[in-house]
Amino acid sequence: MIKFLLMVNKQGQTRLSKYYEQVDIEKRPSLETDVVKRCLSRKKEECSFVEYKDFKLVYRQYAALFIVVGISDTENELSIYELVHNFVEVLDKYFSRVVTQIMFNLDKVHIIIDEIIQNGHIVETNKNRILAPLLALDKMAEAH
């Protein structure tokens, strides 16, 4: 299963975090700092999977943004690697210029993620279906 998902900038600051396994709120910042440090310090030649404590990290970089996913030992790393890309493509479809737009619309990114992953498992991968609730929400907001 997926334990958490982080979107982090190049300076290592968490811009978005989603936890699917119980982690005490006070413990989250230090976990995030540690995880992010591990991923950001990796060299180009190193693979995208990091062994961390008793689980694994999958990370991908998109321009100035890092997406880090913590997964359990039994999860398929290559599959999660694909999932991250799928997620970014959905963001791309909704926002035209992803990185700056995200900062102003973090709540929407959360909504998108909730349509893709729920309690640590994939719930939908079809891009149109993922975006449907958000588009409906946008329509409702416009109407007001």
Partner 1 sequence: PVPSLHQGHLELIRTIRTARTQAEEREMIQKECAAIRSSFREEDNTYRCRNVAKLLYMHMLGYPAHFGQLECLKLIASQKFTDKRIGYLGAMLLLDERQDVHLLMTNCIKNDLNHSTQYVQGLALCTLGCMGSSEMCRDLAGEVEKLLKTSNSYLRKKAALCAVHVIRKVPELMEMFLPATKNLLSEKNHGVLHTSVVLLTEMCERSPDMLLHFRKLVPQLVRILKNLIMSGYSPEHDVSGISDPFLQVRILRLLRILGRSDDDSSEAMNDILAQVATNTETSKNVGNAILYETVLTIMDIKSESGLRVLAINILGRFLLNNDKNIRYVALTSLLKTVQTDHNAVQRHRSTIVDCLKDLDVSIKRRAMELSFALVNGNNIRGMMKELLYFLDSCDPEFKADCASGVFLAAEKYAPSKRWHIDTIMRVLTTAGSYVRDDSVPNLIQLITNSVEMHAYTVQRLYKALLDDISQQPLVQVSSWCIGEYGDLLVSGQCEEEEPIQVTEDEVLDVLEGLLVSNLSTPVTRGYSLTAIMKLSTRFSSVNRIKKVVSIYGSSIDVELQQRAVEYNALFKKYDHMRPALLERMPIMEKTASNGPTEIVQTNGETEPSVPDTKHPPLVTQPANQVTARSHDISVFTIDGSFFVTDDVFKNGLKIEFTFERANPNPNIAVITIHATNTTEDDMTEFVFQAAVPKTFQLQLLSPSSNIVPALNHGSVTQVIRVLNPQKQQLRMRVKLTYTHKGSPVQDLAEVNNFPPQSWQ
Name the minimum Å distance from CB 135 to partner 1.
11
End-to-end CA distance of the chain, in Å?
Answer: 39
Name the minimum Å distance from CB 63 to partner 1.
18
DSSP H or E run through 38: helix 28-40
Q: How far apart are CA 135 and CA 132, in angstroms?
A: 5
Closer to partner 1 by CB, 64 or 123: give it.
123
Chain Cα centroid distance, residue 16: 8
Name the minimum Å distance from CB 121 to partner 1.
5
Closer to partner 1 by CB, 63 or 144: give it.
144
Name the minimum Å distance from CB 143 to partner 1.
10
Closer to partner 1 by CB, 47 or 63: give it.
47
Q: How far apart are CA 94 and CA 98, in angstroms?
A: 9
Question: Which of these, 97, 118, 112, 86, lies nearest to 16 by C-alpha position?
Answer: 112
Q: How far apart are CA 10 and CA 21, in angstroms?
A: 25
Closer to partner 1 by CB, 37 or 121: give it.
121
Name the minimum Å distance from CB 107 to partner 1.
6
Closer to partner 1 by CB, 49 or 63: give it.
49
Residues at the site binding partner 1, with contacts judged by CB under 8 A? 14-16, 18, 20, 22-25, 29, 43, 45-51, 53-55, 76-79, 81-83, 86, 103-104, 106-107, 110-111, 114, 118-119, 121-126, 129, 133, 136-137, 140-141, 144
By CB atoms closer than 10 A (0-12, 13-18, 19+), residue 8 is buried
